Amino acid sequence: MNALRAVIFDFDGTIFDTETPEFQHWQALYRRHGRELHLQDWQRGIGTWDAFDPWAGLPEHVQAQRETVHEELRGAVHAALEDADVRPGVRAVLDEVRARGLALGLATSSDRAWVTRWLSQHGLLNHFSALATRDDVRRVKPDPELYVLAAQRLGLDPAACLAVEDSLNGATAAVAAGMGVVVVPNEVTRTQPFPPAWPQLHGYEGGLDALLQAAGRN
Cβ–Cβ < 8 Å for 199, 183: yes
What is the greatest pairwise CA distance in the chain? 56
Cβ–Cβ < 8 Å for 109, 141: yes
Give me the residues paired with residue 103 across strands. Answer: 6
187-197 as b/e: b if 16+ CB within 10 A? ebbeebebeee
Active site residues: 10, 12
| CB-based contacts of 97, cutoff 8 Å, min separation 6 | 7, 104, 208
Q: Terminal CA-to-CA distance of the chain, rounded, Å? A: 12
Nearest to 102 by CA among 212, 7, 198: 7
Give me the residues paired with residue 6 across strands. Answer: 103, 161
